[in-house]
């Protein structure tokens, strides 16, 4: 007889172990599509490892790729903790990037110490604004935020396209739909010479630490968690549920906006509509792998970035489609979901022929 | 004046029905899942999977109906994963659905790229042709609007009637509705909550995949990356707009199709003064507005998003 029973509380070992096991399992499962594509599996994994740890450059590339994922992972984490389903980080990222190029491409001049904070604030505000709309429609009209944020992603991307063919178009861009370059004084500096890794990573790590402190130590974090666990009870306890949801929405949007600023001002230097290969959506996977913990987000982002960078290198070397990376990421999400179930429940197997005593069934 | 001309032209209404067809499949699929109490955000990915699978089967030599069957089977497969995760395991329907969308999309893209590593122009198949039913298609107006659509549009309209009939006239439909409203009562009657819910998700997902297959097998004749382009999400908005009723779902999809066909025609009239992106944005904005208008009045299935476990009250 097989019975499933809830555990008292998932042990610490399981809460840490399950995401790691899920990530590894997803990587192992990649062997199936790899062998189907006709690749030598051992060689493929070797190429992937080389793409991540093969050189200082490879490693910094991985960190560069992890930077936007930390921001969007944090954005998803804070929203999901309040059971606010912000699936719109992709759009908010683009809004942040657009604000950065709107402010940082020349009409304001000043030293980096002035310009960099300015584009960061502008980007965060734009991202926050992008999530304020759906949060308002949810709290005021009861419109499901999943649907509104998902649809807004499309609206925002088309809007960016319009801006890049209109007011934000680079007059020197040879007709390409791209923005003017961000001025030198607004560029996030590189951390190491000749590497693309930039100070966006430092800002992202700082954001993770602040998010951790706010979530676990502040009154706001307490309210946020209370609303997420049981909104009705939180309301009964006198917590302003709508206000808390709105604040979570604004901060979540702001973090996604910062991802856009960091990509534009740290990496690309100008805005195009292919700035993000779905960092907003991947942030959801990062957040779930992290068990919705801000510090865990950093580790999860490093893993996902490794998958992307490793798979890129491998696919170039061996001619396997780089969609393999997306496949591994989605499998990691499904694995960690199932893992979360295993952490909360325990499966008890008792021999079928043995009569189950009454005390045993009483416990279930 | 021109606006009136557009609204009175038969080509306009034929286009509206054509645009509505994949949405009809999608909204019905979402309706079947949600009526049983489970949100299926896998829809966007299942659309992509259906589009790829149906097209690929025909490209490999199956006939068109064989391709449709294979597309539905693929949708059912991804639906089964979602069903296992959300029904017996009771995991977050939001996250599982998004996971299915990512998984189904990446499986489809990876499969397409692996089967066709280097193609500059996507290979084409011979898609469903307009039926052109003799005599009927000669009826003025209706002839063009209704009787020159492909067989898939007819299949979609047939499914609307079938779903309405099952839910309103059969004991199975009654059980499927009850399981989304009050699973405890269904369990008390000795019916399997797990079975009903999982069956509904699998069937609904197969239906969604047909919507995707329409894109590659009727609307176009090839598969493109990103061709679903949010149609699945629009269906999730439309099903709320339709208050989970098959008739209203058809109406919602048709209104949406009419609006989309209208904006394309309006664009050719005033395109010189208004950026084309304004028109591209319109369908998504319309979906949000529709959602906001009905949100408070919508009669959600009462147990939507609530997992149910046997032996726990």
CATH number of the domain within which A286 lies? 1.10.3470
Q: Is A229 on the interface with B (CB under 8 A)?
A: no
Report phi then psi at B130, rounded to 5.
-55, 140
Q: Could you say which of B90, B99, B280 has the minimum Cβ distance to residue A334?
A: B99
Whether the predicted pLDDT of A37 surpasses 80: yes
Q: Is A8 within the bounds of a domain?
A: yes
Q: Which residues of B touch A150 (CB under 8 A)?
A: 230, 233, 236
Distance, in Å, from the CA atom of A78 to the CA atom of A94, rounded to the nearest integer, reads 19
pTM higher than the cut 0.80: yes
Total domain count for chain A?
1
Please state, in angstroms and rounded to a whole number, the distance separating the CA atoms of residues B43 and B13.
26
Between vectors from CA A355 to CA A351 and to CA A356, what angle results, nearest 5°? Answer: 85
* Distance between CA atoms of residues A103 and A96, nearest Å: 11
Cα distances (angstroms) measured from residue A204 to each of A64, A117, A269: 11, 14, 18
CA–CA distance, B156 with B129 (Å, rounded to integer): 15
Domain annotation covers residue A271: yes
How many Å is the Cα radius of gyration of chain B? 20
Supply φ then ψ for residue A349, to 5 degrees.
-110, 120
- Burial label for B235, CB within 10 Å (0-12, 13-18, 19+), is buried
Q: Is residue A318 part of a domain?
A: yes
Q: Is residue A166 part of a domain?
A: yes
Distance from CA of A334 to the nearest CA of B (A): 6
Distance, CA of B181 to chain centre: 23
Quick one: three-class SS letters along B96-161?
HHHHHHHHHHHHHHHHHHHHCCCCCCCCCCCCCCECCCCCHHHCCCHHHHHHCCEHHHHHHHHHHH
Helix locations, B36-89, DSSP H: 43-59, 64-86
Tell me what the mean pLDDT of segment B199-212 comes to: 98
pLDDT band, residue A289 (cuts 50/70/90): very high
**A130 contacts chain B (CB < 8 A):** no
In this structure, of B13-27, B86-100, B129-143, the range with the lowest mean pLDDT score is B129-143
Separation of first and last alpha carbons in chain B: 62
Instruction: Give residue A342's pLDDT band: very low, low, confident or very high (50, 70, 90).
Output: confident
Domain of A18 in residue numbering reads as 2-354
How far, in Å, CA of B167 to CA of B196, rounded? 13
Q: CA-to-CA distance for B154 and B139, rounded, in angstroms?
A: 17
Q: Which residues of B touch A85 (CB under 8 A)?
A: 94
Tens of pLDDT along A124-179?
999 999 999 999 999 999 999 999 999 999 999 999 999 998 888 888 877 788 99
Q: Give the pLDDT of residue A357.
A: 44
pLDDT for position B117: 82
**If we measure between CA atoms, which residue out of A131, A118, A339 comes closest to residue A247?**
A131
Least confident of A53-57, A75-79, B47-51: A53-57
Integer Cα distance of A278 and A264 in angstroms? 15
The answer to whether residue A360 sits within a structural domain is no
Distance from the Cα of A142 to chain B's closest Cα (Å) equals 6
Residues of B engaging A, defined by a Cβ cutoff of 8 Å: 41, 81, 85, 89-92, 94-96, 98-100, 102-103, 105-107, 109-110, 113-114, 117, 229-230, 233-234, 236-237, 240, 275, 277-278, 280-281, 284-285, 287-288, 291-292, 295-296, 311
Task: Tell me which chain A residues have a C-beta less than 8 angstroms from the C-beta of B278.
Answer: 162
Residue A68: predicted pLDDT: 98
Pairwise CA distance, residues A110 & A119, whole Å: 12
More confident residue, A77 or A174: A77
Give me the pLDDT at residue A364, please: 35
**Closest approach of chain B CAs to the CA of A158, in angstroms?**
6
Q: Which residues from A are below 8 Å from B94, CB to CB?
A: 85, 146
With pLDDT > 90 as the criterion, what percentage of chain B qualifies?
72
Domain segments of chain B as ranges: 2-117+132-294
pLDDT average, residue stretch B136-140? 77
Residue A156 in contact with partner chain B when CB distance is under 8 A: no
A346's enclosing H/E stretch is strand A345-349
- Please give the Cα distance from B111 to B105 (Å, whole number): 10
Q: How far apart are CA B216 and CA B220, in angstroms?
A: 5
Is A325 a member of any domain?
A: yes
Q: Which of A80, A148, A150, A341 to mutate to test the interface with B (most CBs of B within 10 A)?
A: A150
Quickly name the fold that domain B2-117+132-294 has. Answer: ABC transporter involved in vitamin B12 uptake, BtuC (1.10.3470)
Of B99, B114, B240, the CB nearest to A36: B114
CA–CA min distance A221, chain B (Å): 22
Residues B99 and B46: their CA atoms lie apart, in Å, by: 11
- For A159, which of B94, B99, B277 is closest by C-beta distance? B277
Residue B217: C-alpha distances to residues A88, B22, B43, B104, B211 (Å): 31, 11, 18, 19, 10
Chain A CB contacts of B234 under 8 Å are 151
User: Is the pLDDT at A303 greater than 90, yes or no?
Assistant: yes
Q: What is the pLDDT of residues B266-305, one digit of tens each?
A: 887 776 778 888 888 988 998 899 899 888 888 889 999 8
3-state secondary structure of B263: helix
């Amino acid at each position: 007889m097989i019975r499933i029973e809830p555990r008292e509380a998932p042990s610490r070992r399981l809460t840490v172990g399950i995401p790691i096991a899920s990530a590894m399992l997803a990587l192992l499962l990649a062997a199936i599509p790899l062998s189907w594509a006709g690749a030598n599996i051992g060689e493929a994994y070797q190429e992937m490892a080389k793409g991540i740890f093969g050189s200082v450059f490879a490693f910094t590339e991985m960190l560069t790729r992890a930077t936007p994922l930390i921001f969007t992972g944090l954005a998803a984490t804070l929203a999901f903790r309040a059971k606010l389903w912000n699936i719109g980080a992709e759009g908010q990222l683009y809004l942040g990037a657009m604000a950065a190029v709107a402010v940082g491409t020349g009409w304001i001049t000043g030293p980096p110490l002035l310009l960099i904070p300015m584009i960061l604030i502008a980007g965060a505000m734009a991202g926050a604004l992008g999530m304020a709309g759906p949060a308002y429609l949810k709290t005021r009209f009861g419109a499901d935020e999943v649907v509104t944020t998902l649809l807004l992603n499309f609206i925002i991307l088309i809007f960016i396209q319009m801006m890049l063919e209109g007011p934000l178009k680079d007059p020197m861009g040879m007709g390409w739909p791209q923005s003017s370059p961000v001025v030198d004084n607004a560029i996030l500096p590189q951390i190491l010479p000749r590497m693309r890794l930039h100070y966006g990573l430092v800002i992202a790590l700082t954001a993770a630490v602040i998010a951790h402190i706010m979530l676990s130590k502040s009154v706001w974090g307490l309210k946020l968690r209370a609303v997420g666990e049981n909104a009705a009870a939180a309301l009964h306890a006198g917590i302003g549920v709508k206000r808390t949801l709105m604040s979570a929405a604004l901060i979540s949007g702001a973090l996604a906006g910062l991802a856009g600023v960091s990509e534009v001002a740290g990496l690309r230097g100008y805005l195009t509509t292919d700035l993000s290969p779905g960092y907003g959506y991947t942030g959801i996977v990062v957040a779930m792998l992290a068990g919705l913990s801000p510090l865990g987000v950093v580790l999860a982002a490093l893993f996902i970035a490794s998958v992307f960078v490793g798979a890129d290198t491998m696919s170039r070397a061996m001619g396997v489609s780089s969609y393999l990376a997306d496949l591994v990421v989605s499998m990691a999400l499904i694995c960690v979901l199932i893992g979360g179930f295993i952490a909360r429940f325990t499966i008890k197997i008792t021999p079928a022929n043995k009569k189950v005593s009454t005390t045993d069934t009483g416990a279930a | 004046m021109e606006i009136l001309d557009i609204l009175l032209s038969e080509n306009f209404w034929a286009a509206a029905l054509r645009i509505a067809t994949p949405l009809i499949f999608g909204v019905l699929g979402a309706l079947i899942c949600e009526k049983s109490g489970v949100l299926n955000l896998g829809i966007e990915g299942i659309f992509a999977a259906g589009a790829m699978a149906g097209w690929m089967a025909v490209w490999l030599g199956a006939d068109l109906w064989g391709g449709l069957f294979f597309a539905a089977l693929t949708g059912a497969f991804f639906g089964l994963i979602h069903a296992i995760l959300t029904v017996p395991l009771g995991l977050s329907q939001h996250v599982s659905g998004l996971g299915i969308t990512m998984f189904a999309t990446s499986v489809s893209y990876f499969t397409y790229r692996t089967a066709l590593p280097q193609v500059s122009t996507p290979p084409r198949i011979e898609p469903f042709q307009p039926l052109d039913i003799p005599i009927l298609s000669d009826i003025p107006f209706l002839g063009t609007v209704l009787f020159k659509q492909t067989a898939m549009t007819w299949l979609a309209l047939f499914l609307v009637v079938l779903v309405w009939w099952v839910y309103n006239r059969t004991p199975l439909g009654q059980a499927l509705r009850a399981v989304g409203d009050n699973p405890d009562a269904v369990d008390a009657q000795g019916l399997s909550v797990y079975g009903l819910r999982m069956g509904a998700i699998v069937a609904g997902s197969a239906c969604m995949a047909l919507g995707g297959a329409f894109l590659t097998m009727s609307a176009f004749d090839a598969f493109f990356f990103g061709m679903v382009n949010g149609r699945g999400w629009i269906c999730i908005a439309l099903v709320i707009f339709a208050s989970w009723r098959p008739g209203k779902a058809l109406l919602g999809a048709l209104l949406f199709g009419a609006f989309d066909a209208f904006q394309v025609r309006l664009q050719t009239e005033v395109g010189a003064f208004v950026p084309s992106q304004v028109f591209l944005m319109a369908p998504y904005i319309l979906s949000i507005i529709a959602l906001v208008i009905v949100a408070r009045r919508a009669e959600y299935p009462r147990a939507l998003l609530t997992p149910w476990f046997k032996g726990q009250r």
